[in-house]
Structure 1
Amino acid sequence: MNTPDPQALSLLVRWLLGWWLCLPMPALAELTPVGRPQVSVLIPARNEALTLPRLLKALQLQSLQPLEVIVIDDGSGDDTAAIARAAGVKVMTSTPLPPGWCGKNWALQQGVEQSQGELLVFMDADTEPAPTFLAKLVANQQRHGGLVSVQPFHRTEKAYEQLSVLFNLVGLMAVPLGPRGGVAFGPAMATSRRDYDQIGGHASVAGEVVEDWFLAHRYEAAGLPVSAFLGTTNLAYRMYPGGLRDMVVGFDKNFATAAGEVRWPWMLAVLLWISGLIWAAWCLPAALLHWPMVGSQALAPNLLLYGAYALQLLVITRRVGSFSWINLVFPVPVVFFLGVFLLAIFNLERGSISWKGRQIPTR
């Protein structure tokens, strides 16, 4: 009787972990709001002249019309404020950043203080909501309570944007989604004003770069539920349309500041899956080009392993973003992912990173 190959079994377990990690990723439920909720939509914007028009137009088409839309201009050097005024929404100019505050947090804190709605919806300027999104988000907040957020579907246009596939996927694999999952996504969040005031608002996370993660902690500490869902067909965005450098710096910023917040059971499972992916990314080229490698250099098993991971990526990324051909050449985004990870470690040690003209602390 043949003894099972320990290496093959190990790789099979790691591949299966990928499917398991992607099972609990529910989309925003198809719910209808109760009553006639008064909703304030707050949008922090710093140099968002290219992205803001799409969001403001989409908000005009919502099936649930908000009481007000407030754009908080956070020191923009472009036409952000003029575009918002032309769209007929309320525009605020953020006052100078106080010591210890991050720009987005300060902008939103000011916006809330000037808003009137009983429900607060925070949306990033680059988000693209479907016509029924706001109604579904509000209805889900009414059902679940506390803080409800949505991770947008990542819409890609240019080739370099496909390189972000692993950042999008790993970011979702590493956290528990669904009702009371305990994690929040900053691009779109909804909460009642009462709950927001109870946790101390954005003032309670004034200096946190990844404010969504820390807001989730504040809600949980106050005994309030925190729920998160996928955007799928309800909410999309195009991340970092400004080019490859912006994308590297953006992911680097999030990597360096959020890595310590991931819960270790999920992190361990994700690391095991990634190690299998890296193994598969190396073994097929190594077998073809006779590079050094551990294990069999036979082409067939390494081709099978490569194909299994490519197929898995094609399937599990369909609900995350418009990633296609990049999954067939996944060693390329693997190298990109590892490179940004190493850069994030460097910036973590350095203590800061430059983002949109500001120095952002990474500690």
Structure 2
Amino acid sequence: MGWVAVSILVRWLLGWVLGLRLPVLPAGSPVEPLSVSVLIPARNEESTLPHLLDGLARQSLRPLEVIVIDDHSSDRTTAIATEPRSGLPVRVLPSPSLPQGWCGKTWALHNGVLASRGELLVFLDADTEPGPEFLERLVAVHQQLGGLVSVQPYHRTEKPYEQLSLLFNLVGLLAVPLGPACGVAFGPAMATSRADYDRSGGHAAVAGKVVEDWFLAHAYEKVDLPVSAFLGYGQMSYRMYPGGLNDMVVGFDKNFATAAGEVRWSWMLAVVLWLSGLFWAAWCLPASLLGWPLVGDRALLSNVLVYGAYVLQLLVITRPVGRFGWINLLFPIPVLFFLGVFLMAILNLKRGQVRWKGRLFSTR
């Protein structure tokens, strides 16, 4: 076996090591009753908010209150939030004018916390879709671990362009440690006690951060509070960027440009090594078929085997991450998409700003 083959094999095996250690939010029930305030920042979320509120109305653990903080929406967000849903206690809080130095989401949640009454604060993005036991499990895990507990939702894809997000979803999870006290937080779904929130400084401590979850995790760790994260497979899902391909490109560009520097170098090195093998496999099969430049074995059979090995791996490790089916068979396509958005993110880092939901945010 030549050195190229050994190198690809090592990178492929590394993918299994990274991909088979993604913990799912465990089952459990709260050991003692707690009053729960659910806080939802919403800016032009008329298409997504009904799924979340309907899901909250079916919870096995009923929240004390659900507060939708309307971040100056120009659509029917407020009207949809006030529609009655099986006795779900929902109220709408208009977000005050955005002060300098704050992002819309952090300002909305800061004001939502001030208006809330619960002992436990649960922050949910408006596009999340919880299963009936989600709040019960989340509260139980928080009672066990304390600090800040977050959940990365399962990515529910519908249209073909959404399949292009394959590598962004996967790399974002492979590049960080997950589980109890991992030090990583995911913004779509987070739970914390009010006391711990105040001790960490809350959203005021991360006021100007467009990717606030990474920095909120740092704020908790600075005051010796644990930060834990899990996958929402089977319990929490969302449909990312249903507004179209452009929204998806800008959204991932924003996250790349602002959070890339927060990833620990050791984890990133492992992911880059795995990605290099994936990129190699994406190139080798068409190169062997079309006579493109290629280092290593040009035999069609060996390159088909390498390609098939990565298809199998992607099918397995993406299963708890999102609904990605046929795109795994054509993974060179999301590879090209990933590289293109990565280059855009580098340019935005150089410019120092990115536009999201009609507002400009700093990437520095």
Whole-angstrom CA distance in 2 between matches of 1:125 and 1:322: 20
Q: CA deviation at 1:23?
A: 2.3
Q: CA deviation at 1:166?
A: 0.3
- The equivalent residue for 1:59 is 56
On the 8 A contact 2:152/2:231 being kept in 1, the answer is yes
- The equivalent residue for 1:349 is 350
Whole-angstrom CA distance in 2 between matches of 1:82 and 1:249: 28
Whole-angstrom CA distance in 1 between matches of 2:315 and 2:341: 22
- The equivalent residue for 1:28 is 25
Whole-angstrom CA distance in 2 between matches of 1:326 and 1:94: 40
Whole-angstrom CA distance in 1 between matches of 2:50 and 2:123: 17
Whole-angstrom CA distance in 2 between matches of 1:9 and 1:292: 20
Q: Provide, for residues 170-189 of structure 1, a one-character-per-residue CA deviation record: whole Å limited to 9, x for no partner.
A: 00000000001110000000
- The equivalent residue for 2:273 is 272
Structure 1 counterpart of 2:16, from 15, 19, 22: 19
Q: CA deviation at 1:113?
A: 0.3
Whole-angstrom CA distance in 2 between matches of 1:21 and 1:355: 31
What is the correspondence of 1:67-86 to structure 2 with a 5 Å cutoff? 67-86=64-83
Whole-angstrom CA distance in 2 between matches of 1:22 and 1:148: 21
Q: Provide, for residues 165-211 of structure 1, a one-character-per-residue CA deviation record: whole Å limited to 9, x for no partner.
A: 00000000000000011100000000000000001110000001111
- The equivalent residue for 1:314 is 315
Percent sequence identity is 71
Q: Provide, for residues 88-117 of structure 1, a one-character-per-residue CA deviation record: whole Å limited to 9, x for no partner.
A: 611011111111101000000000000000
Q: CA deviation at 1:352?
A: 1.0
Whole-angstrom CA distance in 2 between matches of 1:26 and 1:343: 31
Q: CA deviation at 1:353?
A: 1.2
Whole-angstrom CA distance in 1 between matches of 2:297 and 2:57: 59
- The equivalent residue for 1:183 is 184
- The equivalent residue for 1:109 is 110
Q: CA deviation at 1:214?
A: 0.5
Whole-angstrom CA distance in 1 between matches of 2:206 and 2:223: 14
What is the correspondence of 1:89-100 to structure 2 with a 5 Å cutoff? 89-100=90-101
Whole-angstrom CA distance in 1 between matches of 2:32 and 2:142: 13
Are residues 1:50 and 2:47 paired? yes
- The equivalent residue for 1:251 is 252
What is the correspondence of 1:204-353 to structure 2 with a 5 Å cutoff? 204-353=205-354
Question: How many residue pairs end up in the alignment?
Answer: 360
Whole-angstrom CA distance in 1 between matches of 2:361 and 2:298: 46
Aligned partner letter, 2:130 = P
What SS does structure 2 have at the residue aligned with 1:207?
A: coil
On the 8 A contact 1:170/1:270 being kept in 2, the answer is yes
Whole-angstrom CA distance in 1 between matches of 2:141 and 2:173: 20
- The equivalent residue for 1:7 is 4
Aligned partner letter, 1:112 = V
On the 8 A contact 2:18/2:174 being kept in 1, the answer is yes
Whole-angstrom CA distance in 2 between matches of 1:43 and 1:24: 30
What is the correspondence of 1:125-164 to structure 2 with a 5 Å cutoff? 125-164=126-165
What is the TM-score normalised by the length of structure 2?
Answer: 0.98
On the 8 A contact 2:176/2:264 being kept in 1, the answer is yes
Whole-angstrom CA distance in 1 between matches of 2:318 and 2:80: 34
Q: CA deviation at 1:221?
A: 1.0
What SS does structure 2 have at the residue aligned with 1:228?
A: strand
On the 8 A contact 2:20/2:317 being kept in 1, the answer is no
On the 8 A contact 1:154/1:236 being kept in 2, the answer is yes
On the 8 A contact 1:24/1:178 being kept in 2, the answer is no
Aligned partner letter, 2:23 = P
Aligned partner letter, 2:7 = S
On the 8 A contact 1:118/1:192 being kept in 2, the answer is yes
Whole-angstrom CA distance in 1 between matches of 2:55 and 2:25: 18
Aligned partner letter, 1:78 = D
Whole-angstrom CA distance in 2 between matches of 1:91 and 1:10: 56
Q: Provide, for residues 22-69 of structure 1, a one-character-per-residue CA deviation record: whole Å limited to 9, x for no partner.
A: 122111111101221100000000000000011011101100000000
Aligned partner letter, 1:350 = R
Whole-angstrom CA distance in 2 between matches of 1:77 and 1:344: 28
Whole-angstrom CA distance in 1 between matches of 2:139 and 2:333: 40
Whole-angstrom CA distance in 1 between matches of 2:256 and 2:95: 27
Aligned partner letter, 2:331 = F
Aligned-residue CA RMSD in angstroms? 0.7
Q: CA deviation at 1:269?
A: 0.2
Of 174-183 and 287-296, the range deviating more from structure 2? 287-296
Aligned partner letter, 2:49 = L
What is the TM-score normalised by the length of structure 1?
Answer: 0.98
Whole-angstrom CA distance in 1 between matches of 2:138 and 2:8: 39
What SS does structure 2 have at the residue aligned with 1:86?
A: coil
